[in-house]
Amino acid sequence: MEQMNNVTEFLLLGLTQNPDVQKLLFILFTLIYFLTVAGNLLIIVTEQSLRFPHVFFPFLSFTDCCCSSTMAPKMIFDLLAQKKAISFSGCMTQVFAEHFFGGVGILLLTVMAYDRFVAICNPLQYTITMNRQVCGLLVAMAWAGGFLHPLIQILFIVWLPFCGPNITDHFICGLFPLLKVSCMDTHVFGLFVAANSGLLCMLIFSILITSYVLILCSLRTHSTAEQTKALSTCASHVTAVVLFFVPCMSVYLRPTNTFPTDKAVAVFYTMVTPMLNPLIHTIRNSEVKNVMKKLWS
């Protein structure tokens, strides 16, 4: 790797060069990061206090917390730093961690959609179909799949030659900004990234939306109370799916183009979405809210 690269660090241009805006963003992002960590930790503690915990919620919250923590602290620190630099190994680690936890989150949302499908469409078989062993296996498969997704990409990108310049127009180490500063033609690799990330996201997103359409169709034979409860649960899941997948697809389905709005989109899925997920998954869940009230008191 050292023989192929003259670059030992990358310089990040960040979100803005305006010092006043940087200070404002520092306060805003620090608050968002604090709320993200606190909210997701609260979900984990609350779910462990339930007699019949929602198995996948704590893992999704843990994933959101980790995903945000791989990028937010560095981004917040750089807002007040004169030199926004990250080492080559640190950059590769950040790319791997971002896609690892993002991949796990995608697969967990898929598993949760299947869980809701079984619970609503086959309620009498739910405890048998979704027993602890099956849930544990699905979670393990999500983590394994999440690990395999970035591993394939990182094995390619670490061998790309970086001869300089080492300035990337972003606030984090992203795949496409790195491809732009590589001193070789990366068009084919860009198509591979789009297929591995963008098309995969679009495929899973289509499957998830289809599953929720099937759930809605099956609700026609249920009572009004059951329909209301199921719709409430599905609404939170669909909201989380849209907030997660749409920004990712808007970035990774464009293998050769980057736009100034990509930074804003990256802020949304790295900072805002992990902060909103705890609220989305609990605001319509009376059981979780009651446990939170007990814990608070």
pLDDT at 1 (0 to 100) = 42
pLDDT at 2 (0 to 100) = 44
pLDDT at 29 (0 to 100) = 93
First vs last Cα of the chain: how many Å apart?
56
pLDDT tens digits, residue range 106-124?
888 888 888 888 887 787 8
pLDDT at 157 (0 to 100) = 83
Q: Phi and psi for 162 in degrees, rounded to 5?
A: -120, 105
Cα–Cα distance for residue pair 247/200, rounded to 1 Å: 14
| Domains, the chain | 9-296 (1.20.1070.10)
Token pair recorded at residue 6: 């003259």
If DSSP codes are grouped into helix, strand and coil, which group holds residue 62?
helix
Q: What residue has token string 């997920």?
A: 277
pLDDT at 56 (0 to 100) = 81
Residue ranges for the chain with pLDDT beneath 70 = 1-5, 49-54, 255-260, 282-292, 294-297
If DSSP codes are grouped into helix, strand and coil, which group holds residue 38?
helix
pLDDT at 3 (0 to 100) = 44
